[in-house]
Amino acid sequence: MILVVANATAREALRGRTGLALLGFYAVAVLLSRIVGWITPTDGHLVTTDLVMSLQSVVGVLVAIATGTALVQSEIQSRTLYTVLSRPIPRWRFVVGKFAGLAAALIIGQAAMVALGLGYLAVTGAPVTGWLALAGAMTAAEVLIMAAVALALTAVSSPLLGAVLSIAVYALGHAVAGLPGLIHHLQAWQQTIAIVLASLVPNLGPYAYRAEAVHAVPLPWPELAQAAAYGGLWIALLVAITVITLDRRQL
């Protein structure tokens, strides 16, 4: 059942216009990134590579938030789920299937971006290493977490508020990574607030491996495994929140 829902969701998402439009935007932005490389006084290839990798994150997260907010909420509003949930499928399987399908579509989109980005870098003569591909995979993991964030926040609020809150979570999630260095400069009450806020959002720092990858700094495997497990737990938690919310939802 989960796979059946996931398959239909992935097809629907891959044929959607939003994702294709943002992928087109990514392609144009990647082509234009070389201009920044030309005008930079330092190593142009490094700057272009950094830009291409960052674009994958920005566009990927935008796609994740756009599709994550629409995944279940738009189905409720457009009533497309009436013909699905009136069949013998429990709601939790529907939500898990929907997220699995979206995740598959996002991974395909991310893989296309990595292939396009790295292909372009290779054509322009920039050094392309396996670390860059790994950085692309880490960004894809970040995108999946953000899709789950958007899904859960929309389930407990509304699509617009969910999208705004997701962007805030993305910003906070990256700020959390710098918290250990900052916290000693804060007063006690500020430290408490910072720790509470930090524990409410996923730490996206471990997935921002782009800068290191550009300089071919290796990523230790234990850190990679830890990041994968951490991301998986957050996704499971966020999907569970969505399941609980949808289960009580009046359709």
- Give the footprint of another protein on this chain (CB under 8 A): 1, 4-5, 7-8, 11-12, 15-16, 78-80, 82-90, 248, 250-251
What is 54-93 written as a DSSP string? HHHHHHHHHHHHHHHHHHTHHHHHHTTTHHHHTSS--HHH
Q: How far apart are CA 94 and CA 1, in angstroms?
A: 8
Closer to another protein at the Cβ: 16 or 205? 16
- Within 10 angstroms of residue 189's Cβ, the number of other Cβ atoms is 8
Closer to another protein at the Cβ: 79 or 184? 79
- The CA–CA distances, whole Å, from 97 to 9, 42, 132, 207 equal 8, 47, 31, 25
In 3D space, the residue among 65, 62, 58, 53 whose CA is nearest the CA of residue 116 turns out to be 53
Tokens of 41: 């006084």
- Smallest separation, CB 14 to another protein (Å): 8
Closer to another protein at the Cβ: 92 or 230? 92
- Smallest separation, CB 87 to another protein (Å): 4
The DSSP output letter for 203 is -
- Smallest separation, CB 158 to another protein (Å): 14
Q: How far apart are CA 16 and CA 69, in angstroms?
A: 14
Chain-centre distance for alpha carbon 107: 10
- Smallest separation, CB 161 to another protein (Å): 16
- Smallest separation, CB 79 to another protein (Å): 5
